[in-house]
């Protein structure tokens, strides 16, 4: 089956998550910023980077190599044209994190927000483990299930609704269990609630040394 993300215009995705009733863009950028401040990585990879949400939070005096990965080539073109001039050490890769290899040198911090809902966990986490240097960190953001809120929020951007058929909410426990099998041990976790009522979990993992 063709990945529905390939057919969602970036403007639809970005408008959708910035709608006041959804309001996820700022939260995702803020969690990325928190991770950068907490770990001061020399190198970071943003998995499912879309158009580069949060890249403006990168302090290039601390983080000198930034890797953006996304399956949608159009998103990568947009992120590149937005940030190539202002963020030093940027490299972009069009890749499906479930297949093939991630063709970049391992980084200190891997940030993966709202992507595990769309991929096979074992295949993806195995590749993210290879993309993280021993002793480095993985920060993840998952959407939590809710009995009274749609997993894919209703919006005027109809292309987004194609995600409903392929989205699977992943529990923090399932992610932690699968991450452990590829060498990531969980160090922390916190729950966030947005005004919309949607809840998210941010987890931090450390990759085993050696």
Ligand X SMILES: C[S@@+](CC[C@H](N)C(=O)[O-])C[C@H]1O[C@@H](n2cnc3c(N)ncnc32)[C@H](O)[C@@H]1O
Least separation, in Å, of the C-beta of 3 and ligand X?
6
User: Closer CB to ligand X, residue 5 or residue 39?
Assistant: 5
CA distance 47 to 70: 6
What's the 3-state SS for 136-181?
Answer: EEEEEEEECCCCCCCCCCCCCCHHHHHHHHCCCCCCHHHHHHHHHH
User: Closer CB to ligand X, residue 49 or residue 65?
Assistant: 49
Strands (E), the chain: 43-47, 65-70, 90-94, 107-113, 132-143, 184-193, 199-207
Residues that bind ligand X (CB under 6 A): 3, 5, 28, 48, 50, 53, 69-72, 75, 96-98, 113-115, 118-119
User: Closer CB to ligand X, residue 83 or residue 118?
Assistant: 118
CA distance 101 to 166: 23
User: Closer CB to ligand X, residue 70 or residue 108?
Assistant: 70
> Shortest Cβ contact with ligand X: which residue?
48
Least separation, in Å, of the C-beta of 128 and ligand X?
11
Least separation, in Å, of the C-beta of 204 and ligand X?
16
């Amino acid at each position: 089956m063709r990945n529905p993300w390939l057919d969602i215009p970036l403007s639809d995705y970005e408008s959708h998550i910035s709608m006041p009733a959804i309001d996820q863009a700022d939260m995702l950028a803020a969690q990325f910023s928190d991770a950068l401040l907490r770990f001061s990585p020399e190198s970071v990879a943003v998995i499912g980077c879309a158009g580069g949400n949060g890249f403006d939070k990168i302090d290039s005096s601390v983080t000198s190599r930034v890797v953006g990965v996304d399956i949608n080539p159009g998103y990568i073109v947009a992120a590149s044209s937005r940030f190539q001039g202002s963020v030093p050490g940027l490299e972009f890769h069009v890749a499906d994190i479930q297949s093939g290899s991630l063709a970049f040198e391992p980084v200190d911090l891997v940030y993966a927000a709202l992507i595990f809902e769309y991929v096979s966990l074992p295949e993806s986490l195995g590749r993210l483990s290879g993309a993280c240097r021993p002793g480095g960190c993985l920060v993840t953001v998952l959407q939590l299930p809710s009995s009274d809120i749609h997993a894919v929020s209703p919006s005027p951007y109809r292309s987004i609704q194609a995600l409903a058929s392929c989205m699977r909410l992943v529990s923090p426990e399932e992610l932690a269990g699968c991450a452990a099998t590829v060498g990531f041990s969980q160090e922390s976790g916190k729950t966030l609630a947005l005004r919309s009522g949607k809840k998210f979990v941010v987890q931090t993992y450390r990759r085993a040394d050696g």
